[in-house]
Chains A and B, each alone.
Chain A
Amino acid sequence: MTCLEPAILYFEDDTLSREVMEVCLKRGLGYRNVTIFADSADFEARIAELPVKPDVIFLDIHIEPNDGFAMLKAIRQHAVYGRTRVIALTASVMNEELKLLRDAGFDGVIAKPLDFDTFPATLRRILNGEQVWHVK
Chain B
Amino acid sequence: MTRLLRNLELGVKLNVVLLFVLSIFLVSIIFLLNRNTQRLTNQVGEERVIEEVNILENRLAEFEEKLLVDINFLTGSVLFFQAVGSRNEERVAQIVDATNVLLKLDDITVVDGDGKRLVDTGADHDHGEEDKLLAVGLSGRETVALLVDETSGETRISIAAVAPVVNTNDNILGAIQMSRRIDSDFLETLTFRRDAVHLGLVYGDQIVARTRESATSARLPGDILANGIAIEQGPLDQARTGQTVILSHLVSGDRGVPHAVAYVPVRTDMETFPAVVMILVELKEIYSFQQSTLNNTVLIFSALTALAIGVIYIAIHRTVIRPLNKLRAIAQTMTSGQYGERAPVYSHDEVGQLALAFNDMATAIQQRESSLQEAREQAEQADKVKSMFLASVSHELRTPLNAIINLTKFVALGMYGDVNEEQKETLYKVEASGKHLLNLINDVLDISKIEAGSLELFVEDGLKVSEIIQLAVETSKGLLLQKPVTLRCEIEPDLPLLTGDQQRIRQIMLNLISNACKFTETGEIVIRAYCEDSELIISVSDTGPGIDPKDHEVIFEVFRQAKAGVRKSEGTGLGLAISRRLTEAHGGRLWVKSALGQGATFYVALPIESPLAVTA
Contact = CB atoms under 8 A, between A and B. Distances in A.
B407 interface: yes
B445 interface: yes
B456 A95 contact: yes
B398 A16 contact: no
Number of chain A interface residues as a range: 20 to 34
Contacts of B457: 95
A114 B394 contact: no
Contacts of B438: 113
B406 interface: yes
A105 interface: no
A80 B406 CA distance: 34
A116 B503 contact: no
B418 to A, nearest CB: 14
B399 A96 contact: no
Given A17-B399, A92-B394, A96-B456, A27 B415 contact: yes
Contacts of A24: 406, 410
Q: Which of B401, B404, B407, B409 has the most CB of A within 10 A?
A: B409
B402 interface: yes
Given A96-B456, A136-B442, A20 B402 contact: yes
A80 to B, nearest CB: 31
Given A16-B403, A99-B458, A113 B398 contact: yes
A34 to B, nearest CB: 15
B399 A14 contact: yes
Nearest to B404: A113
Contacts of B396: 91
B392 to A, nearest CB: 8
Given A14-B399, A95-B458, A113 B406 contact: yes
A16 B407 CA distance: 9
Given A19-B407, A27-B415, A116-B409, A62 B400 contact: no
A48 interface: no
Contacts of A114: 402, 406
A10 to B, nearest CB: 13
Contacts of A98: 458
A16 B503 contact: no
A28 B410 contact: yes
Given A92-B394, A94-B445, A28 B415 contact: yes
A60 to B, nearest CB: 10
Interface string A91-133: 1111111110000000000011110100000000000000000
A62 B399 CA distance: 11
A16 B434 CA distance: 15
A112 to B, nearest CB: 4
Given A16-B400, A96-B456, A112-B399, 19 more contacts: A14-B399, A14-B402, A16-B403, A17-B399, A19-B407, A20-B403, A28-B413, A62-B395, A90-B395, A91-B402, A94-B390, A95-B457, A95-B458, A98-B458, A99-B615, A112-B398, A112-B402, A113-B401, A114-B406
- Those 9 A-B pairs whose CB atoms lie nearest each other, nearest first: A91-B398, A16-B403, A113-B402, A91-B395, A20-B406, A112-B402, A92-B395, A27-B415, A113-B401
26 contacts: A14-B399, A16-B402, A16-B407, A17-B402, A17-B403, A19-B407, A20-B403, A20-B407, A23-B407, A24-B410, A27-B415, A28-B410, A28-B415, A62-B395, A91-B394, A91-B399, A91-B402, A94-B391, A95-B503, A113-B401, A113-B405, A113-B434, A113-B438, A116-B410, A136-B503, A136-B507
